[in-house]
A and B are shown apart, each in its own frame.
Chain A
Amino acid sequence: MRFAHIADVHLGSWREPKLRELSTLAFIEAIKRCIDKKADFVLISGDLFNTSLPPIESLKLAVTELKRLKDAGIPTYTIAGSHDFSPSGKTMLDVLEEADLVKNVCKGSVDEGKLRLEFTLDAKTGAKITGMLGKKGMLEKKYYEDLSRKELEEEKGFKIFMFHTAISELKTEELEMMDAAPVSLLPRGFDYYAGGHVHIVKEASIEGHKNLVYPGPVFPNSFAELEKLGCGGFYLYDDGKLAYEKIELRKVATISIDCEHKSPAQITEKAFEEITRNKLDGAILLLRFAGTIETGKTSEIAFNRIIELAQERGAYFVMKNTSKLATREFDEIKVKADTTEEVERLVMEEHVGQIKSLKLNPEQEKELVTRLMLALDIEKEEGEKQADYEARVNAEMSKIINA
């Protein structure tokens, strides 16, 4: 049995056209390799799209590539991730499933308050696949708590569990503060656990759970990921053997400038020096500026000239990160982070305890805020009037507050 395990494609995530193009090419390359390597089937463990209602271009790309798989006789099994699942329960995966391009394996029934997941059988290999969707703020954790495990664990045959949740035991140091669930919430005894959501490349086995795998994204989705991962990829399972398939479309070069006790002019000069010293032919250049500058403002650093120089030296694309750069002249911004999710989490934690009237404990308050944020994430539908849209959002908010 040979199958590919992809996750966190996040089609449409990059705004910069050059990086968006690389992201697209990485997905196309992943699908091409699945076909070339004659995978029996493909698993996509959530977040195929970056939003629940993706732009037409992303949708078109997904349809084209999934159709290539279908035409090659390779079925695709998916679950919804935190990005492609809307609070109203809508996901573009439903459309893809209607078109018979993917099979959403997160299905089942409710029996006496317990969720009974069902297996989807892969006709060619006999593999039995099931899984759990991921939701923002890890709201799927409650689903796991109410999951009926016995029949899943007792089922015979080759079993795969797809999930889109951070597992506490597998978090890396950088992800220390990320909300996570213990591995014990996943049913035991499966042959492969196809993970998504956490953008790390990791495989491990923990008592009763063998082959727990996070393939990471097919292309990094942020400055931090480009810096840490360098490139994307996916996993290939081949009769018990695991192999990580790297998709390296461009080299990534990182230059870190220590700005401590330096003036803007000195920082600019240091950046020039470093860029001139490095070979940047066709590489994505990551410029990280960190430290507290001695005098002046950060805007006095000649970022434009630095970027121009890097481009002249052949850099394909230049990104700068100043999240760890501070000045003595201004108060430090309280919340600084590399990702949107991290900013949201930090802001939420900074303000927790302020909703007095509902008498909630901090955990309940965080859950309420997460749900409200999800409700505010509802997008306006095509042809929907502004007033109807507002009423729909209001109704959703009232439902959450009054629950």
Chain B
Amino acid sequence: MIKGQVIGGELGKVLIRQKSDAELEIGEILVCGETEKILLQVYDLVYGSQISPQNLELISGMKLEDNAETEFFDERLRNYTIAFAKPIAVLRSSNVTLCKQLPRFFKEVRQVENSDLAFITTPKDPLFIGNLRSGSKMLDVPVSLPGKEVFAHHILISATTGRGKSNLVKVMLWSIVDKDYCGVLVLDPHDEYYGRNGEGLKNHPSHERVVYYTPRDAPPGTRTLKINIKQVKPEHFRGAVAFSDAQWQAMNAYYKEYGNKWIESVILEKPLKLDFHEATVGVLKRRLTHLMDIDFDGSQVYCKGVFDISAGETTVKDIANELEQGRTVIVDTSGFSGAVEILIGSMITNEAFSRYKGYKAKGLLDAKPVISVVLEEAPRVLGKEVLESGSNIFSTIAREGRKFKVGLTAITQLPSLIPREILANMNTKIILGTEMKPERQAIIESASQDLSQDDRNIASLDKGEAIITSNFVKFAMPVKIPLFEGRAATAGKTEQKKAFEGVKLK
């Protein structure tokens, strides 16, 4: 269907006059040319008219005040819409290249058809995001990214509340649960991904590859989250809790002297060779007991929460093993304070990262799946203010994780709080509706493709609509993310034959 005609502009700003019986939308993809096709994307719309502004005002006045019907010119010719579009790619048979030319003057543009997009194929190790979108219309063209590379090079998901971040993450996780190429750690502060009370990853046909850790009321078959205090090291608190220099020194001194019993030793105020001010140890003890929900009676330490003195010796290692086996591990952190959530995330991430560094040194990394850590409210650990007081495991991964096949999937409403250098390292950005101008600006400035004209486009993204900008796609792809709800119902289930050999049955 013909949508309009090229009437002017410049490279990156092509003016299209809309055909009177066609509708153009921001984000819409248009095609210009037949053998050599230029794909154009609309990024802004303005009115056009053959009538001078003064006459338009006059006509409006006559209509409003006197209810007069005045006709100038042919109805189809007098008023119209002018679209501003940017060329996004050139298709020559099966070759796709960046556009370095203008479409021919006065050339007609038509709406995009599925056949124009045959070059969008499913890559190796796919990570499904959604369907290609032209304006608000969803096309029958699934968009998958090369998951292995994309995860290792970090993903940023940016959106205002209510624009479908959780739905997107669920869709992404659902698509990779049964894939061996990646293990994903999800720190889930809203306990929404497993689907304890509704649809979730537990409903996946390969649900045995989803491991769920929760500190409360674990459904049968899932893990009760317990972490032995012996597994906690001072370095795990980096980025999670702001201790003073003296407190850091005291923690390290206890760790050096008492090894994995250092927390117990702080709580029981065991002596140190080095001298620390009484108040320093006192505050440290108080903060640790509060943070880790620990109690003591003078000679014995008791744990009440997720940290334990008896259970959970292998939890962190178990999770690292599961990630290495390409599983999706969801840790329900909904009952924790932000600091505890980050502490736990930091412990697991440290373990996985140091293992992968070891594998690289031994030449074993190639055989391992990529690991991604899904972080909600990422500025808590990647924010400029946090990083001013020192780096943490997450910022280390953001900077150098790619070399070791460990990446971040950072989710945020406020990308502007993340340092530019880290944002630039996130080579794939999935942008959902973002209302605040500074946040859009931060994303646009660090995008892999030129999005300088897409400010309005991003602002107008509706729920479930997104733009993918990535080093691994040819152009910034507009997508529509399908609704997660209903996926479980359509997933096939296989009933296994049940036998209970060895049980004395009646």
Using a CB–CB cutoff of 8 Å, the interface residues on chain A facing chain B are 80, 85, 87, 89, 91, 104, 106-110, 113, 115, 117, 132-133, 135, 142-147, 149, 168-173, 175-177, 182-185, 202-204, 206-208, 362-363, 403
Contact = CB atoms under 8 A, between A and B. Distances in A.
A182 B503 contact: no
Contact of B318 (A168, A362, A363): A168
B184 to A, nearest CB: 17
A170 B317 CA distance: 13
Contact of A169 (B312, B317, B321): B312
A147 B498 CA distance: 11
Given A108-B506, A184-B220, 10 more contacts: A110-B498, A169-B224, A170-B310, A170-B311, A182-B223, A183-B218, A184-B222, A202-B310, A204-B311, A206-B226
B219 interface: yes
Nearest to B320: A176
A103 to B, nearest CB: 10
B471 interface: no
Contacts of A132: 503
Nearest to A132: B503
Given A182-B222, A207-B216, A143 B500 contact: yes
Residue from the set B223, B313, B321, B503 with the largest chain A CB neighbour count within 10 Å:
B503
Contacts of A202: 310
B450 interface: no
A182 B221 CA distance: 6
B363 interface: no
B208 interface: yes
Residue from the set A104, A132, A173, A175 with the largest chain B CB neighbour count within 10 Å:
A173
Given A169-B311, A175-B314, A145 B221 contact: yes
Contacts of A207: 215-218, 224
B270 interface: no
A107 B312 contact: no
B314 A168 contact: yes
A176 B310 CA distance: 15
Nearest to B503: A106
Residue from the set A145, A146, A169, A363 with the largest chain B CB neighbour count within 10 Å:
A169
A289 to B, nearest CB: 25
A137 B505 CA distance: 22
Contact of A89 (B314, B315, B321, B501): B501
B225 to A, nearest CB: 9
Tell me whether chain A's interface is mostly helix, strand or loop, or mixed: mixed
A173 B498 contact: no
Interface in B452-506: 496-498, 500-506
A115 B220 contact: no
B244 to A, nearest CB: 32
Given A104-B504, A143-B503, A363-B208, A169 B226 contact: yes
Residue from the set B215, B221, B314 with the largest chain A CB neighbour count within 10 Å:
B314
A110 B505 contact: yes
B416 interface: no
Interface string B39-82: 00000000000000000000000000000000000000000000
B218 A110 contact: no
Given A172-B313, A206-B226, A184 B502 contact: no
B325 interface: yes
A171 B420 CA distance: 43
Contacts of B216: 207
Contacts of A87: 501
B314 A176 contact: yes
A184 B223 contact: yes
Nearest to B325: A362
Contact of A176 (B217, B226, B321, B498): B321
Contact of A185 (B215, B220, B500): B220
B221 A185 contact: yes
A382 B506 CA distance: 29
A185 B219 CA distance: 8
Interface residues of B, number: 33
Nearest to A403: B497
B373 to A, nearest CB: 21
10 nearest A-B pairs in the assembled complex, by CB-CB distance: A107-B504, A184-B218, A204-B310, A109-B506, A182-B223, A171-B314, A169-B311, A176-B314, A133-B502, A204-B311
Tell me whether chain B's interface is mostly helix, strand or loop, or mixed: loop
Contacts of A183: 218, 224
A29 B318 CA distance: 37
A85 B325 CA distance: 30
A228 to B, nearest CB: 14
A314 B325 CA distance: 49
A91 B501 CA distance: 11
Contacts of A203: 310
12 contacts: A80-B502, A104-B504, A108-B503, A109-B505, A146-B500, A173-B317, A175-B314, A182-B224, A184-B222, A207-B224, A362-B325, A403-B497
Contacts of A133: 502-503
Contact of B315 (A117, A147, A169, A403): A169
A184 B214 CA distance: 10
A291 B497 CA distance: 49
Given A169-B223, A176-B317, A206 B311 contact: yes
B314 to A, nearest CB: 5
A106 B502 CA distance: 8
Given A109-B505, A173-B314, A182-B218, A168 B223 contact: yes
A179 to B, nearest CB: 11
A107 B222 contact: no
Contacts of B497: 403
Nearest to B231: A173
Contacts of B318: 168, 171, 176
A171 B318 CA distance: 10
A104 B317 CA distance: 36
A362 B496 CA distance: 18
Contact of B503 (A107, A149, A170): A107
Contact of B313 (A107, A149, A171): A171
A113 B314 CA distance: 33
Interface in B174-208: 208
Contacts of B502: 80, 85, 89, 91, 106, 133, 135
Given A173-B313, A207-B218, A207-B224, A107 B498 contact: no
Contacts of B325: 362
A87 B502 CA distance: 8
B150 to A, nearest CB: 23
Given A110-B500, A133-B502, A204-B310, A149 B315 contact: no
A118 to B, nearest CB: 8
Contact of A106 (B223, B317, B498, B504): B504
Nearest to A147: B220
Residue from the set A177, A184, A206 with the largest chain B CB neighbour count within 10 Å:
A184
Given A171-B313, A184-B224, A206-B224, A115 B503 contact: yes
Nearest to B218: A184
A151 B217 CA distance: 18
Contacts of A89: 501-502
Interface string B294-327: 0000000000000010111111011001000100
A85 B502 CA distance: 7
B139 to A, nearest CB: 33
Contacts of A175: 314
A171 B506 CA distance: 34
B250 to A, nearest CB: 26
Contacts of B220: 144-145, 147, 149, 184-185
A177 B320 CA distance: 12
A309 B506 CA distance: 60
Nearest to B315: A169
A363 B325 CA distance: 10
A46 to B, nearest CB: 11
B504 A184 contact: no
Contacts of B224: 169, 182-184, 206-207
